[in-house]
């Protein structure tokens, strides 16, 4: 890689490289798919201060502070995380910046790993801040560099909005190796290409940064005037550009949709919106005037369509394409057929996607895959807790994380999952409703507890709530790939040195909760007895389970294997914990029940052995 001027990077890696090239000084965020890889990649440069924060709001606040100190800063989040950070964002949009601020929001159309599907382009309009929408990794790199320049030039934070396909797919980034990290060294990048930020002495400016009403009213007017200048930039900068081909057919598009359009309809003229807010009104009018028939291709909501409609031009878009889920090349082709742009099967490039009978090869392959629900990993320490909760039949207010899978069959042990850190608040609310004859349980992971579960637990204590709060401490942020948090005592730019580790039990004690249980989730019988005791208590109490995630930071194998003995009566109890290592064989008992077995993926947690009341599961002795 040392002598090339191009590299194959994901969109997330390209954003990190762009931030490095731009001289970002502080980068913060909270892990969330599909944005999680940006900060770890940036940390490899070892030049900027790169840290995970306790939640998205805090992360943006740190970035704002660095900007006030004249340093460039970046904040990363997945789409729902911007909801958490929206409070500081909305006021930051009014105050403006000193050092440039890039806000990276990665949307997840089709909800591959999210609790909702939202289109964060609307945050740009809501906050009155400009937005980039890259279509590939090279644009992720270039637009991130550009975002800091625009931020400082126009005194505004800048949003860079990606989607899952852009974040995780790889394409060529044209950059000299000076802007790529040294993957084999933890030493500071030796290429000396990192632009050192200019040192400026802090100057107090309360009219800019103290948003008391008397100053906020002035700054709001400035933000509105700023939009006019940004729209002029949107029209004239060349970042939004027209590719003229046939003047009979035209498409206005952005982001990943641009790639699909170019693949399916290379004959069409295209207006590509890369700086998609504020929209380039003059450029759009020019395009529509020259091209006979124009439609809009965009994923999720009719954001571009509504903006174009607001300048008096009505074009078709969501009348043709879905308002939910991801677009695909096949869907774009179908839409263009419906729009009359192409006739069925007359496009050679897209016909490659088609199999016999008109169904895609991908669909054909998907049909052959075995149907199964997502499940907790073999040996996951959360399994025993959910199984016990199922047996106890209590309402369980859940949260965001791997443990959300506890809501699915066969565990079926979670009643809600709405937003991060909500579980304890929802448990308090449900208990106040007096609608359940049983005590309520709220459950969340360690990372979620630090993210925003702490506040609702404090509120519960303050208001004399009565429920059982369960904190599943597996010492990582597992669902997003094993990132660190205050409970692990590590972070990205500290070289993974353990320091200032925050102890959950001491936090809970500090809140004033006296009834606290610490249990090993691999001891199912202890889990069940403790839960039963806690759920019988009339107090607000807390159960903390302590076992590391079996995957992070390294895959765990306890060195034991278990087997199901001959004579098993097929009662199905072991199947009820949903362990992927326990499978039904092709052999059946006389009562036509399949005989289960444990495959080689068993890590030896022993939960199944505790659950088998007939003692048909035992450890394999070597």
Annotated binding site for [4Fe-4S] cluster: 568, 571, 574, 579, 602, 605, 608, 612
247: CB partners within 8 A, 6+ apart: 269, 290, 291, 292
At 163, give phi and psi (nearest 5°).
Answer: -130, 170
Residue 311 CA: distances (Å) to CA of 291, 458, 536: 18, 49, 63
Q: Can you name the residues that pair with 184 across neighbouring β-strands?
A: none
Nearest to 133 by CA among 28, 257, 308: 257
Nearest to 482 by CA among 162, 165, 48, 40: 40
Residue 238 CA: distances (Å) to CA of 128, 232, 314, 372: 21, 11, 24, 48
The kind and range of the H/E element at 11 are helix 11-22
Rounded to whole angstroms, the Cα distance separating 125 from 127 reads 5
- For 317, the token pair is 């878009």
Nearest to 105 by CA among 79, 126, 67, 143: 79
- For 4, the token pair is 């090339």
- For 122, the token pair is 């609307």
Nearest to 619 by CA among 569, 559, 572: 559
DSSP state letter for 354: B
Rounded to whole angstroms, the Cα distance separating 189 from 608 reads 50
Nearest to 326 by CA among 6, 108, 28: 108
Residue tagged 């598009």 (tokens): 253
Residues marked as binding?
A: 568, 571, 574, 579, 602, 605, 608, 612
Rounded to whole angstroms, the Cα distance separating 575 from 597 reads 10
Q: Is 201 exposed, middle or buried (0-12, 13-18, 19+ CB in 10 A)?
A: exposed
The kind and range of the H/E element at 132 are strand 131-132
């Amino acid at each position: 890689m040392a002598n090339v001027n191009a590299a194959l990077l994901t969109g997330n890696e390209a954003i990190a490289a762009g931030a490095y090239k731009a001289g970002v000084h502080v980068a913060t965020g909270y892990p969330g798919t599909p944005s999680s890889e940006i900060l770890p990649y940036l940390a490899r440069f070892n030049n900027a201060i790169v840290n995970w924060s306790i939640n998205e709001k805090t992360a943006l606040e740190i970035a704002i502070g660095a900007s006030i100190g004249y340093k460039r800063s970046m904040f990363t989040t997945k789409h729902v995380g911007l909801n958490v950070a929206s409070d500081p964002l909305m006021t930051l949009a009014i105050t403006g910046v000193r050092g440039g601020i890039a806000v990276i929001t990665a949307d997840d159309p089709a909800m591959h790993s999210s609790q909702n599907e939202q289109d964060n382009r609307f945050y740009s309009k809501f906050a009155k801040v400009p937005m980039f929408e890259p279509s590939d990794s090279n644009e992720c790199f270039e637009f991130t560099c550009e975002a800091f320049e625009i931020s400082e030039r126009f005194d505004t934070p800048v949003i860079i909005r990606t989607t899952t396909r852009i974040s995780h797919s790889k394409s060529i980034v044209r950059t000299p190796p000076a802007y790529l990290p040294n993957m084999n060294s933890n030493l500071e990048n030796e290429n000396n290409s990192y632009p050192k930020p200019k040192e400026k002495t802090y100057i107090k400016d309360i009219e800019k940064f103290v948003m008391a009403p008397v100053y906020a009213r002035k700054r709001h007017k400035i933000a509105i005037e700023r939009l006019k200048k940004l729209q002029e930039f949107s029209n004239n900068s060349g970042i939004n550009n027209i590719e003229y081909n046939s003047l009979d057919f035209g498409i206005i598009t952005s982001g990943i949709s641009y790639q699909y359009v170019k693949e399916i309809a290379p004959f069409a003229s295209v207006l590509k919106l890369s700086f998609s807010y504020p929209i380039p009104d003059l450029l759009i009018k020019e395009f529509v005037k020259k091209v006979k028939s124009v439609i809009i291709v965009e994923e999720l909501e009719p954001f571009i369509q509504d903006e174009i409609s607001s300048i008096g031009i009505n074009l078709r878009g969501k009348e043709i394409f879905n308002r939910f889920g991801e677009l695909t090349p096949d869907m774009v082709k179908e839409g263009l057929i419906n729009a009359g742009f192409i006739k069925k099967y007359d496009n050679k490039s897209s016909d490659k996607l088609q199999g016999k009978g008109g169904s895609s090869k991908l669909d054909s392959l998907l049909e052959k895959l075995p149907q199964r629900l997502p499940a907790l990993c073999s040996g996951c320490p959360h399994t025993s807790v959910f199984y016990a909760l199922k047996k106890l039949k209590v309402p369980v207010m859940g949260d965001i994380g791997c443990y959300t899978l506890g809501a699915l069959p066969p565990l079926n042990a979670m009643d809600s999952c709405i937003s991060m850190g909500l579980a304890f608040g929802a448990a308090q609310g449900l208990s106040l409703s007096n609608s359940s004859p049983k005590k309520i349980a709220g459950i969340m992971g360690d990372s979620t507890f630090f993210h925003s579960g702490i506040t609702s637990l404090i509120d519960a204590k303050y208001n004399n709530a009565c429920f059982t709060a369960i904190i599943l401490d597996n010492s990582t942020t597992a669902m997003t790939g094993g990132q660190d948090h205050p409970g692990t005592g590590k972070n990205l730019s500290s070289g993974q040195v353990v320091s200032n580790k925050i102890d959950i039990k001491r936090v809970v004690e500090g809140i004033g909760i006296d009834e606290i249980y610490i249990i090993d989730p691999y001891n199912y019988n202890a889990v069940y007895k403790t839960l039963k005791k806690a759920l019988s208590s009339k107090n607000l109490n807390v159960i903390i389970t302590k076992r590391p995630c079996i995957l992070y930071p390294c895959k765990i194998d306890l060195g034991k294997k278990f087997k199901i003995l001959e004579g098993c009566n097929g009662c199905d109890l072991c199947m009820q914990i949903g362990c992927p290592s326990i499978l039904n064989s092709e052999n059946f008992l006389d009562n036509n029940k399949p005989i289960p077995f444990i495959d080689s993926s068993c890590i030896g947690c022993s939960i199944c052995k505790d659950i088998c009341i007939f003692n048909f599961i035992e450890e394999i002795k070597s």
